[in-house]
């Protein structure tokens, strides 16, 4: 089973989606902020947006959908998660259910809000400190060896940037081998992530969509379940693993 998730799975945790009502893009346009050009042009504005998102996400909890998927992985080693989300909620749900192996079973296709990368030395590190976006001089700087002090960026994949080749290779390998792809809470407009469900279908697998709305993947879905992830995903998991009940 490959589970492909998008911002919709975190909507029930209070994380704003990208394209829905009150979505992140409402206030800002993708090309305005989530691109390397935007960061080049105005790193302060981009860090202000990411600092705001980090504050929102840090106050959110994984919901029943995240927890059900983590419990499913604990019960069935055949379940893989590829998420487009950068909110870290799948990782937190897994940590809560105590499955250490999750790293090998969870791919964050677009990186993480809480990881930084240094533009000078390339160093990556967990980073949860509040962002001081008041001025360019206050923006986060590298604490790398030898006092690099290079400028830091969020370690996420921006539009126009390629995903990590290893991540792409693993994700498409999972998609091609999956008996079914469960697609939860994505508008399926962003590539190459949305293609994963098509690869499972083309390899003879089933596609199950969980989304209150239709999406470009709906026509190819074996079944589309019209509703919210927190309501539907725990019931799907329980139907496969009656013993698994998410807290
Ligand atoms: C790439 C990280 C090769 C950052 C994100 C022109 C120039 C350059 C590139 C392109 C181009 N045209 C097309 C492209 C490709 C581009 C792309 O796909 N563009 C789209 C907009 C057309 N892709 C890329 O650039 C990718 N890289 O292709 O590299 C390359 C290299 C150079 C040049 C060309 C190609 C990189 C894409 C990664 C972008 N980074 N995030 C950040 O987060 O800040 S993508 C961003 O959108 C998030 O990761 C998000 O997850 C993702 C997709 O959005 P969704 O998750 O689907 O969220 P959305 O709000 O849209 O939908 C929510 C859904 O949930 C809705 O359907 C709603 O109905 C549903 N829902 C709501 N409530 C619930 C629910 N479902 C269930 N339960 C609920 N309660
Ligand atoms: Zn550095």
Residues spanned by the domain of 95: 2-17+62-115+163-236
Indicate whether 39 belongs to any domain: no
CA nearest ligand 1 atom 26, residue = 159
The residue to mutate among 38, 85, 110, 114, having the most atoms of ligand 1 within 8 angstroms of its beta carbon, is: 110
CA nearest ligand 1 atom 64, residue = 186
Chain centre to alpha carbon of residue 11: 12
Indicate whether 90 belongs to any domain: yes
CATH number for the domain harbouring residue 173: 3.40.50.1220
Burial of 119: CB neighbours in 10 Å, binned 0-12, 13-18, 19+: middle
Distance 24 CA to ligand 1 centre (A): 12
| Proximal ligand: closest to the CA of 182 | 1
| Count of domains forming the chain | 1
Per-residue pLDDT of the chain (247 residues; tens, 9 = 90+): 999 999 999 999 999 888 777 677 666 776 678 999 999 999 999 999 999 899 999 999 999 999 999 999 988 889 999 999 999 999 999 998 877 656 679 999 999 999 999 999 999 999 999 999 999 999 999 987 777 999 999 999 999 999 999 999 999 999 999 999 999 999 999 999 999 999 999 999 999 999 999 999 999 999 999 999 999 999 999 988 777 765 4
- Model confidence pLDDT, tens digit, residues 148-165: 999 999 999 999 999 999
Q: Which atom of ligand 1 is nearest to the CA of 23?
A: 60
Which tokens sit at 199? 């690869």
Indicate whether 27 belongs to any domain: no
For residue 128, cis peptide bond before it (omega within 30 degrees of 0): no
For 43, phi and psi rounded to 5 degrees? -60, -30
Residue 206 β-bridge partners: 180
Indicate whether 181 belongs to any domain: yes
Catalytic entry in 28, 66, 90, 110: 110
Sign of the alpha-carbon dihedral angle for 223, 229, 231, 234: positive
8-state DSSP, 151:
B
Indicate whether 204 belongs to any domain: yes
Q: 28 an active-site residue?
A: no
61 lines ligand 1 (CB under 6 A): no
- Model confidence pLDDT, tens digit, residues 178-233: 999 999 999 999 999 999 999 999 999 999 999 999 999 999 999 999 999 999 99
Return d(Cα 3, Cα 246) in angstroms, integer: 17
Distance 110 CA to ligand 1 centre (A): 9
Distance 145 CA to ligand 2 centre (A): 8
Indicate whether 213 belongs to any domain: yes
Indicate whether 25 belongs to any domain: no
Indicate whether 32 belongs to any domain: no
């Amino acid at each position: 089973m490959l589970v492909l998730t998008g911002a919709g799975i975190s909507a029930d945790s209070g994380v704003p989606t990208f394209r829905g009502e009150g979505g992140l893009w409402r206030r800002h346009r993708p090309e305005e902020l989530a691109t390397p050009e935007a960061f080049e042009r105005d790193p302060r504005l981009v860090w202000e947006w990411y600092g705001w998102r980090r504050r929102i996400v840090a106050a959110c909890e994984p919901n029943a959908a995240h927890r059900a998927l983590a419990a499913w992985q604990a019960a069935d080693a055949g379940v893989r998660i590829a998420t487009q989300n950068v909110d870290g909620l799948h990782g937190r749900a897994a940590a809560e259910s105590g499955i250490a192996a999750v790293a090998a079973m969870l791919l964050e296709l677009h990186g993480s809000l809480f990881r930084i990368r240094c533009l000078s030395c390339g160093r990556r590190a967990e980073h949860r400190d509040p962002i001081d976006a008041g001025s360019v001089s206050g923006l986060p700087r590298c604490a790398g060896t030898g006092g690099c002090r290079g400028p830091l960026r969020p370690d996420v994949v921006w539009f126009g940037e390629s995903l990590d080749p290893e991540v792409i290779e693993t994700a498409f390998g999972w998609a091609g081998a999956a008996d079914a792809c469960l697609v939860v809470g994505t508008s399926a407009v962003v590539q190459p992530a949305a293609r994963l469900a098509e690869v499972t279908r083309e390899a003879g697998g089933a596609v199950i969509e969980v989304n209150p709305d239709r999406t470009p993947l709906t026509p190819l879905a074996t079944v589309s379940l019209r509703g919210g992830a927190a309501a539907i995903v725990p019931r799907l998991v329980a139907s496969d693993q009656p013993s698994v009940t998410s807290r």
